[in-house]
Amino acid sequence: MAALPQISEAEFEVMKIVWKYAPINTNEITERLTKTTAWSPKTIQTLIKRLVNKGVLSYEKQSRVFVYTPLVDENEYIGQESNSFLKRFYDGNISKMLSAYLENDKLSETEIDTLRSLLSRGSQKGDD
């Protein structure tokens, strides 16, 4: 699998909207992001253009608006970023990462219960 393009935090905010609502036009993206950010419409259009140039978004013109569709799968991108983070900060060792979170009280009881459930499911798959 080829590495996916790197995108900034701001570009990721745009992608979250596109992943959730695609196909989506420029006006809809702008409307949603101006409700949750202090960005101007011009800034949002610049971010969209960058994502197109990086090959993360495709578009087609429908009458007078551009409609965007993601070219990168959300789960695939998040998986790549998670692996990169894990390698960079924890030498690829997920146990080290979880230990750091637990030692610094970064996980709630609910999150710990969720992890237990996920680990239990994972170990059951190995038994199949």
Q: Where are the domains of the chain?
A: 1-91, 93-128
pLDDT at 126 over 80: no
| DSSP 3-state of 80 | helix
Given a cut of 60, whether residue 1 has pLDDT beyond it is no
What is the value of pTM for the model shown? 0.76
CATH number of 1-91: 1.10.10.10
Task: Kindly tell me the sign of the dihedral angle through the C-alpha atoms of 29, 35, 37, 38.
Answer: positive
Q: What is the pLDDT of residues 61-119, one digit of tens each?
A: 999 999 999 999 999 999 888 888 888 888 888 888 888 888 887 788 998 899 889 88
Q: Which residue has the tokens 């995108």?
A: 7
